[in-house]
Homo-oligomer: A and B are copies of this chain.
Amino acid sequence: YAGFQAEASRPGEPIQPIAPPQEINLAKSELGKKLYFDPRLSKSGFISCNSCHNLSMGGTDNLKTSIGHGWAQGPINAPTVLNSSLNIAQFWDGRAADLKEQAGGPIANPSEMGFTHELAISTLEGIPGYVREFELVFGSPAVDIDKVTEAIAEFEKTLVTPNSPFDQWLLGDDDALSAKELAGYELFKLSGCIACHNGPAMGGNSFQKMGLVAPYETENAAEGLAGLTGIDADRFKFKVPTLRNVELTYPYFHDGEAETLAEAVDVMGRLQLGRTFSPEETEQIVAYLKSLTGDQPSFALPILPPSTDQTPRPNPFGN
């Protein structure tokens, strides 16, 4: 991400406001929006990206772990897609370099959309409204997974959330935060949260060990970076999640085991910083974190082009 950075009126701060969407190819993003909402990219015809990253609910499903094809129980908490264009890499362990690479994953994941890229493409090829739109956007009517994921990624670039109360404060409005929220921000900086949760997204820009000072106990099998590198020291290293809209993205942590923000803040203090916050301090930090909820993306529910007699049909219950 190398886009515009709003020039903050408080340039000394370690956090920058979220910038509005920049350099969007509108036609491509509109196509991507349809694909994002289209359950025909799944084997069942029932599950779309929006099923698990519900843009009515902060870009997540608010479940501990997701429900996928055949009611499969997912292995890990679904992160928000909001501001995901600001991430250095995608997934908790960063195994996809960018949004385009990421978007191919869930379609073919047996426990998510349960489909194959080939079948998804032949479904789209059988929908004349899509074929025309691919031609309009890409200059040729051929549909392939490269174009599909490129369009979805373009739509996801629009899913930023500027204008939170905290951003209004960063941009100079002294009244945008209450005294309690400001006290929370001071604590957030002074106690060291800012070391990992910084930049416009307040996260998403580094991998850090969960359980730095004291070990994190979980029954979840995810290993973090170690699953990719095989290196023992990478065990439980996860991409630091964004704290933008964190009020909306409950439950918390990669295993979804923290139900409330107060619990997540308490765990962070003890396990990452060796510090136990008083109830008042936790309350202040939580109040501050709730000031990070920005304007949610607002757009008309897309109307999808209908299948025709030639379009392959979904297969929800068969093999």
A67 and B51 within 8 A (CB)? no
A250 and B39 within 8 A (CB)? no
Verify if A77 is at the interface (C-beta below 8 Å from B): no
Given contacts A46-B63, A73-B317, 14 further A-B contacts (CB under 8 A): A39-B54, A45-B62, A45-B63, A46-B51, A51-B51, A56-B304, A57-B304, A71-B316, A247-B306, A250-B306, A251-B313, A261-B309, A299-B300, A299-B301
- Report the separation of the CA atoms of residues A306 and B70 in the bound assembly, to the nearest whole angstrom: 27
- Report the separation of the CA atoms of residues A247 and B62 in the bound assembly, to the nearest whole angstrom: 35
Taking CB atoms, residues of chain B closer than 8 Å to A299 are: 300-301
B296 and A298 within 8 A (CB)? no
Known pairs A56-B302, A304-B56, A307-B250; A61 contacts B37 (CB<8 A):
no
B71 and A45 within 8 A (CB)? no
Instruction: Describe A's contact surface by its main secondary structure.
Output: loop
Q: How many residues of A contact B (CB 8 A)?
A: 42
CB distance from A314 to the nearest CB of B (A): 6
The 4 residue pairs across chains A and B that have the minimum distance between CB atoms: A71-B71, A260-B309, A56-B304, A296-B303
Verify if A44 is at the interface (C-beta below 8 Å from B): yes
Q: When each residue 247-284 of chain A gets 1 if its CB lies under 8 Å from chain B and 0 otherwise, what string results?
A: 11011000000011110000000000000000000000
Q: When each residue 51-95 of chain A gets 1 if its CB lies under 8 Å from chain B and 0 otherwise, what string results?
A: 100111110011100010011010000000000000000000000
Taking CB atoms, residues of chain B closer than 8 Å to A62 are: 45, 307, 314
Number of copies: 2
B63 and A316 within 8 A (CB)? yes
Known pairs A250-B307, A301-B300; A56 contacts B37 (CB<8 A):
yes
B67 and A44 within 8 A (CB)? yes
Taking CB atoms, residues of chain B closer than 8 Å to A309 are: 259-262
- Report the separation of the CA atoms of residues A220 and B250 in the bound assembly, to the nearest whole angstrom: 41
Q: Which residue of B lies closest to A298 (CB)?
A: B300
Q: Which residue of B lies closest to A314 (CB)?
A: B63
- Report the separation of the CA atoms of residues A219 and B84 in the bound assembly, to the nearest whole angstrom: 47
CB distance from A286 to the nearest CB of B (A): 9
Q: Which residue of B lies closest to A251 (CB)?
A: B313
10 contacts between A and B (CB under 8 A): A37-B56, A44-B63, A44-B67, A45-B61, A45-B62, A46-B63, A56-B304, A62-B314, A70-B71, A298-B303
Taking CB atoms, residues of chain B closer than 8 Å to A296 are: 303
Within 8 A of B (CB), among A1-54: 37-39, 44-46, 51, 54
Q: Which residue of B lies closest to A286 (CB)?
A: B309
Taking CB atoms, residues of chain B closer than 8 Å to A39 are: 54, 57, 61
